[in-house]
Amino acid sequence: ELDIDEPRLIKALELPANAELDLPRTLDFVTARTEFYTHPTALPSVQRGSIKLDLHRRDFTINTLALRLDGNHYGELLDPWGGGRDLHEGLIRVLHSLSFVDDPTRMLRAVRLEQRLGFQIEARTLDLLREALPLLDQVSGERIRTELELIFEETGRVRIMDRLKQLGLLAAIHPAFIWDDWLAARFESAALLDAVPEGIEPPQETPFLFYAMWCFRLSEAEIRSIASRLHFGASDRSHLLESSRVGQYLLDLEGDTAPSRIVARLDESNGRSLFAAWLALADCARCRKWIESYLREWRKTWPETTGETLREMGLPPGPHYKEILWSLRAEWLDGEIRSASEEKARLQSLIEENRNNG
């Protein structure tokens, strides 16, 4: 728990006397450390070190500024690596020439900070980034996903993705990672979810929606390859494939397709995949309407007849139970049955057909 002398800190920082500091009430403290890497892309080994060496562990010079909190030095700014200058000039600069070699994920962070702050990656840093691009292939899928999902959380995610494409970082992660205006529009809708119709519940796992948009137009082989590269679990891999499959299925349908045919296919899907497909199909009004109708109404449409009803009517159990119940449901969906009495009459007819067929 901190007991901060804010007036004294404001004075030490040469801020206006009426300045308000938005400071945390608690902080974590650690000893000064240094680190070294046994080989490129390895996680660092850490040892005790000086404050100067500790600051040298940071990704970029603008991350190396520190304030002293001790005695007469309270509020004194430490800037051993020129972070203040680069902050003033709006530059993203690494601290040494092996920075991206030690940790290639810094390339993604460089772009994220550049676009968030409206800065520029310093020229030599940009050269080092381009030279280090092949090293991204050695970074684990989990670490790449962590960086991508931090980008998804940024309000400027589209600008960041534009810049990642420009610098070749997306292709370095996976050659199938395309980026274009179609994706840019959907990345905005996947984050804002402004146009979600009433009664449609979006999934909570927003990162999945971004990945689903990214994979929507790719082949199954490409989706499987990306899922393997980023180490997706079996569930996420299956849902990414299903989102693309169901989207393509709906795009291929004619506008007058019977609801029962659509329901038979969408019943095989899950809510995550269907919602991702709904987002991706922004240019297909009929496709979106089908998904909305399914989620709101069609999936809840069932006949009053059940398997127990068939048993009580003397029909022996078997595969025909499923066929009869589906026939009744399909006719409700397609408007061929509109009342309980019509269902009852149709049921009698189906049972007679079933018996006549042995």
The tens digit of pLDDT for each residue in 155-204 reads: 999 999 999 999 999 999 999 999 999 999 999 887 767 667 777 777 77
Contact between residue 326 and residue 284 where contact means Cβ atoms under 8 Å apart:
no
Tokens of 272: 């995550």
Residue 38's pLDDT is 63
Average pLDDT, the chain: 90
Q: What percent of the chain has pLDDT over 70?
A: 92
The tens digit of pLDDT for each residue in 82-92 reads: 999 999 999 99
Distances, alpha carbon 29 to alpha carbons 83, 90, 130, 314, in Å:
22, 29, 36, 76
Residue 42's pLDDT is 60
Residue 192's pLDDT is 66
The tens digit of pLDDT for each residue in 309-344 reads: 999 988 888 888 999 999 999 999 999 999 999 999
E strand segments, 106-202 = 120-121
d(CA 14, CA 88): 16
Question: Cβ contacts of residue 77 below 8 Å, gap of 6+?
Answer: 13, 65, 66, 67, 68, 84
Residue 191's pLDDT is 73
Distances, alpha carbon 175 to alpha carbons 10, 98, 169, 244, 279, in Å:
50, 25, 10, 19, 24
d(CA 117, CA 324): 63
The identity of residue 72, as a single letter, is: N
Show the CA angle centred on residue 164, arms to residues 158 and 169, nearest 5°.
150
